[in-house]
Amino acid sequence: MSRSSDLAALAALLADDTRARFCLALLDGRAWTASELAAHATVAASTASEHLGRLIGGGLLVERRQGRHRYVQLAGPREAELIEGLVAHLEPRGQRPATLRTSRAAEALARGRTCYDHLAGRLGVALTDALTDRGLLDRTAGFALTTAGVEWLTGPLAVAPEDLRGRRPLAKECLDWTERRSHLAGLAGARLCERLLARGWVKRIGTQRAVTVTPEGTDALRLLLDLDPASLS
């Protein structure tokens, strides 16, 4: 197949509302069952299975089995960044959400959410800005974690040095689709999100990928980064 045919085939995978809903839901970084995704997209189990088969066959998703249970998730960070990047290119919608519930859900996602394995929304952008202001992240030519940034992650946040080494970039720029600005991705972004969740400073809310800063997290972020989470509301 030519590269143009490959690109057309990839685009066709997302040229369906149900498959697009599945991929957006899986941006929370977790593995979902087919029945959970079917309920999320309000489609029949047989329909969900057919769409998941196409997404797995096309390489956007991977299947994992545990006992009798079958789970699916995004194939990796590259696929997550592809989805998030496409959403960032969409024009903001002008109409108001149809219900109070959808309005609150949209606001929660805009305030703070996971973008696969790192933090996004106003929280993700504010953390990125705070890291930059303190000299932990250098943004003069792309995104680069400074020596002080590495020491900060391995010191106060207790990230193991070996967890900052791998095939992925240490720091990577990811365009935030709600803020229209960049937030931190890459290994550093993933480890930061991981530690904040593990310490209970940030917690997931609801069934979507929205997150919120806890009272303990508010105190910690003020101390470590001079960041006031109240300003994100």
- pLDDT, the chain, mean: 88
In the chain, the number of structural domains is: 2
**Is the same domain home to 133 and 170?**
yes
Determine the pLDDT at residue 158: 93
Contacts of 5 by beta carbon, 8 Å cutoff, 6+ apart: none
Residue 173 located in a structural domain: yes
Q: How many CB atoms lie within 10 A of CB 40?
A: 18
Q: What is the CATH number of the domain that holds 10?
A: 1.10.10.10
**Is the same domain home to 135 and 227?**
yes
Concatenate the DSSP letters of all residues of 121-172 into one string: HHHHHHHHHHHHHTTSEE-TTS-EE-HHHHHHHHTTT---GGGG-SSS-SSE
Examine the pLDDT at 104 and tell me if it is beyond 80: no
What's the pTM? 0.73
Residue 165 located in a structural domain: yes
Determine the pLDDT at residue 89: 76
Tell me the per-residue pLDDT of 191-224, one tens digit each, with 9 for 90 and over.
Answer: 999 999 999 999 998 766 889 999 999 999 999 9
Residue 47 located in a structural domain: yes
Residue 80 located in a structural domain: no
Residue 207 located in a structural domain: yes
Tell me the per-residue pLDDT of 108-163, one tens digit each, with 9 for 90 and over.
Answer: 888 899 988 999 999 999 999 999 999 999 999 889 999 999 999 999 999 999 99
At 100, the pLDDT band (50, 70, 90 cuts) reads low
Exposure string for 51-85, b = 16+ CB within 10 A, e = fewer: bbeebeeeebbeeeeeeeeeebbbbebebbbbbbe
More confident residue, 131 or 84: 131
Tell me the per-residue pLDDT of 169-194, one tens digit each, with 9 for 90 and over.
Answer: 999 988 887 888 889 999 999 999 99
**Is the same domain home to 70 and 108?**
no
At 30, the pLDDT band (50, 70, 90 cuts) reads confident
**Is the same domain home to 210 and 112?**
yes
Determine the pLDDT at residue 191: 96
At 91, the pLDDT band (50, 70, 90 cuts) reads low
CA dihedral for 93, 142, 25, 153, sign (positive or negative)? negative
